[in-house]
Amino acid sequence: MSCPTLVKSAVISALAGFCLVSSAQDHELTTDVVVIGGGISGLSSAMSVLDHGGKVAVLEKLPGLGGAGNYFEGAFAADSDYKRRNGLKEPTADQVYKDVVRFYNYRINAVVLRTLINESGPAMDWIETKGYKF
């Protein structure tokens, strides 16, 4: 099972009871925060709301959660504590960055990509603090 799939599973478990899995129907909810989009950023935001004791609803237009986060492959866990504990040295954040930039023929927002990759390790470490075992 890929790391993005594991991350998605962890977030789905954390949000159980707070996500609506249904087609366009009327629902009445009482919530503190509404997150639009069930991609990696939306799910991380929702998890943060839950961490602070809030109620959250995640609205996603697609039938599944994860968005583009389902396709990051090796970007997640770049230079994470998990990888260090398990003796996994590759791919490094630099290797992932170079591969993704080449894949997109250098037509990509390099600053955003570098931030995403550099934060992927700490993000995985944060998910582990929620009790999820990779």
Domain ranges of the chain: 1-70, 72-134
Indicate if the pLDDT at residue 6 is higher than 50.
no
Q: Number of C-alpha atoms within 13 angstroms, CB side, residue 81?
A: 9
What mean pLDDT is predicted for residues 10-35? 66
- Output the DSSP codes for 88-120: ---S-HHHHHHHHHHHTTT-S-HHHHHHHHHHH
Indicate if the pLDDT at residue 120 is higher than 90.
no
Indicate if the pLDDT at residue 45 is higher than 50.
yes
Write b or e for each residue in 46-62: b if 16 or more Cβ atoms lie within 10 A of its Cβ, otherwise e.
Answer: bbebbeeeeebbbebee
Indicate if the pLDDT at residue 129 is higher than 80.
yes
Separation of alpha carbons 118 and 65, rounded Å: 23
What mean pLDDT is predicted for residues 96-104? 87
Separation of alpha carbons 129 and 102, rounded Å: 33
pTM across the whole model: 0.55
pLDDT given for residue 24 in this prediction: 55
Q: Per-residue confidence at 8, pLDDT binned at 50, 70, 90?
A: low
- CB atoms closer than 10 angstroms to residue 38: 24
Q: Per-residue confidence at 75, pLDDT binned at 50, 70, 90?
A: low
Indicate if the pLDDT at residue 73 is higher than 60.
no
